[in-house]
Structure 1
Amino acid sequence: MRSFGLQIGLLILALISGSGAGQSVILPSWPARTLSLITPAPPGGAVDLTARVAGDKLAERLGRPVVVDSRPGADGIIAAEAFLGAKDKDHTFLVTFGGLLINNPVSYEKLPYDPERDFVPVAMLVVDTIVICANSGVDANDMSALVRLMRVRPEALRWASAPGEPRLRFFGVLKEIDARPLYVPYKATSQAVTDLIAGRIDIMVAPLASVLPNVRAGKLKLIAVMAGQRSPAIPDVPSVAEAGFPRLAMLPFIGLFARSGTRADILERLNYEINAVLADPDVRRRLMEAGLSPSPGTPTALGSVVAGKLQENRELARIVGPIWH
């Protein structure tokens, strides 16, 4: 099996042998038709917003339509199968949360894809802001109060989470503090948000973009940001690190991936164009308003993040054990 590192190395060699660094490759034959961005999330969330905002500007730059194809469910597995099964790999790409590559391999005994063999990193798109939030009926406004409540009355609390690493890390902390509120699975984050507002669940771990409108409307409240520091988008909300729970801190990324075997010149052109998109002031404004931090970079950088986070999650999964599986 080829590792991510080997794929990155081969890609770098191909790029070095091509045009100079930082220059767009002129490909008169590409794109020849509409580009498809497959996502593992339904409309309305951070992944969908990122794909649509970036896709609109990418279409302007390439002179071809860019469509977003949402395939939610099964922790991204449905989207991965659609992506890998697409006939035109040179015009079909995947915009995904990191969990599809760094969490599913430690959460499922068997997957219909190999994250190291089947996917080639193109570029980091954004770093998301993940928050712990609650409905207005929960008698807790900070992490300390929430932990006390989960320890004293775990049977009375129900929680949900966005898929992937946020869920894994929250399960890990629950095991550390010996609390077992009822976990309620959802196919889509938007469905969980609806139930959180209605009081059918009490706590949720979610991308900020998914809950921010309802926070601003006073229907939900934010408990903490799952990061090492506060988010510029919500500076009044403390981080989990400063609240005393550094294990909850994470780097939730959304990235752009191609299929293994995609031509190196296409990968170089797409990386160049997507980085230009992320530097556009209007694109940056729209993403940052949703709590998303544009993070342009190289395929190498994204590949390193994937490899490092996968190793972290393997270690965390050993701690979480049966609660997760």
Structure 2
Amino acid sequence: MNFGRRALLALTLPALAHPAFAQGWPTRPIRLLVPYATGGGTDLLARALAEALRPALPQPVVVENRAGGAGVIGTELVARAEPDGHTLMAVVSTHVANRYFLPALPYDPLRDFTPVALLTRNTMVLAAGTGQPFADLPALLERAKAQPGRIGTGSTESLSSFIGQELARRAKVEMPDVQYRSGGQLMNDIVAGHLPVGWTSTASAMPHMQTGRVHLLAVSTATRTPFFPETPTVQEQGIPDFDLPGWVGLYGPSGLAAPVVERLYQALTRAFEDATLRQRFATMGIEPALGPGTALAAAAEREDKLWAAAAAAGHIQKQQ
């Protein structure tokens, strides 16, 4: 008798859910997929976390980058993986937003994954080269008004793209979206002077702040980030009610057993308490915000409502 994958899962899930299974897990290295290019904030976070998890797990966590399709290529691999706890992924909040930006997704971002943990809060920053002819956000917007469509805003995924276009919409200026595969590539072009400004994570911006060739014009959240406390919010600079944070979450495939999720969260809790990792986070500009899978699920549902409302109001359009 031949069984399909779903039928086999129905037979095996009761066994996987047993606490004894979690005690024997993992039996081989854990793949942690990052569906973005190397060098970006999520990639840096994943690699730091994989190292910090070594003392808490009997098998190593191996980070694997599968960039492409705004994160869809790598994410689909996880959606189709066996829910045995050996394939996980770290994604930014645009994991949810993609359904409102892309023509179609080969998975449902809420139903086809098991939320394991909320990892970090992402404050997005507007970075610019120090050689650009504007030193703050009002000066940038004034120049954009004088030169419609001439100043592009770099982005790496749906959230940073939306932040850039939402700022332009509210300021009534035209600033085309310039898409990059990773925050590392975006920042390299800002440092080189090829890109005037771009929205990226604090983690992507941090390595370049000591060069003297980059400064930050604004943060996307309602409050300033502790990593760059001198950088004002967009709200402080004349755009009211501007508050667009992001997050990074850890997911597994749908059907991941609860005991495995719990053991993973215990390992993460131990890793996040490590002083070395916390110092590394601070150096990289990563804001830890560890929370259980329920916190990640709640954050994803809030994001879904935000993007649905923005789409209904016509503020975002699906790519053709």
Give the TM-score, by structure 2 length.
0.88
Mapped partners of 1:173, 1:224: distance in 2 = 11
CA distance in 2, matches of 1:324, 1:151: 26
Distance 2:226 2:279 in 1: 13
Contact 1:171 1:324 in 2 (8 A): no
1:288 maps to 2:286: no
Q: How does 1:1-325 map to 2 (within 5 A)?
A: 27-87=22-82, 89-101=84-96, 103-317=97-311, 318-322=313-317
- Indicate how the Cα distance of structure 1 residues 174 and 319 shifts in structure 2: closer, same or farther if over 3 A, else same: farther
Alpha-carbon separation, structure 2, partners of 1:136 and 1:309: 34
Q: CA deviation at 1:322?
A: 4.5
**Which amino acid letter does the alignment assign opposite residue 80 of structure 1?**
T
Contact 2:30 2:87 in 1 (8 A): yes
Paired residues of 2:102 and 2:319 also in contact (CA < 8 A): no
Provide the rounded CA distance (Å) in 1 between the counterparts of 2:319 and 2:195.
Answer: 19
Give the whole-Å Cα distance in 2 for the aligned partners of 1:184 and 1:137: 19
**What residue in structure 1 maps to residue 3 of structure 2?**
none
SS of the residue corresponding to residue 211 of structure 1 reads: helix
On the 8 A contact 2:41/2:183 being kept in 1, the answer is: no
The 1:87–1:250 alpha-carbon spacing in structure 2 relative to 1, beyond 3 Å, is: same
Corresponding letter in the other structure for 1:175? R
Distance 1:180 1:324 in 2: 18
1: CA distance, partners of 2:149 / 2:291: 45
Shift of 1:244: 2.7
Secondary structure in 1 aligned to 2:304? helix
* Structure 2 counterpart of 1:8: none
Count of aligned positions: 304
TM-score of the aligned structures, taking structure 1 as reference length:
0.87
| Deviation per residue, 1:223-243 (Å, 9 max, x gap) | 011111111111111122222
Contact 1:172 1:316 in 2 (8 A): no
Give the secondary-structure state (helix, strand or coil) at the position aligned to 1:254. strand
Question: Share of identical aligned residues, percent?
Answer: 28
How far 1:89 sits from its partner (Å)? 4.0
Measure how far apart 1:162 and its partner are: 2.3
Structure 2 residue runs of 5 or longer lacking an equivalent are 1-13
Task: Say which SS state the counterpart of residue 105 (structure 1) adopts.
Answer: helix
String of CA shifts for 1:78-102, please: whole Å, max 9, x gaps: 111222233564210011111012x
**Does the CA contact (< 8 Å) of 1:37 and 1:94 recur in 2?**
yes
User: What is the aligned partner in structure 2 of residue 5 from structure 1?
Assistant: none
Bigger mean CA deviation after superposition, 302-311 or 80-89: 80-89
Q: Within 2, Cα distance between the matches of 1:241 and 1:51?
A: 31
Q: Say whether the 8 Å CA contact 1:36–1:66 is kept in structure 2.
A: yes
Indicate the larger mover: 131-140 or 64-73. Answer: 131-140
> Are the structure 2 counterparts of residues 323 and 207 from structure 1 closer, same or farther at C-alpha, using a change threshold of 3 Å?
same
Structure 1 SS opposite 2:133: coil
- Aligned partners of 2:105, 2:238: CA distance in 1, in Å? 35
CA-to-aligned-CA distance 1:187-245 (integer Å, 9 cap, x gap) = 23322222222222211001122122222211111101111111111111112222233
In 2, Cα distance between equivalents of 1:208 and 1:143: 17
More divergent stretch after superposition (283-292 vs 315-324)? 315-324
Question: Could you tell me which amino acid in structure 1 is paired with residue 166 of structure 2?
Answer: G
Would the aligned equivalents of 2:37 and 2:181 in 1 still touch at CA under 8 Å? no
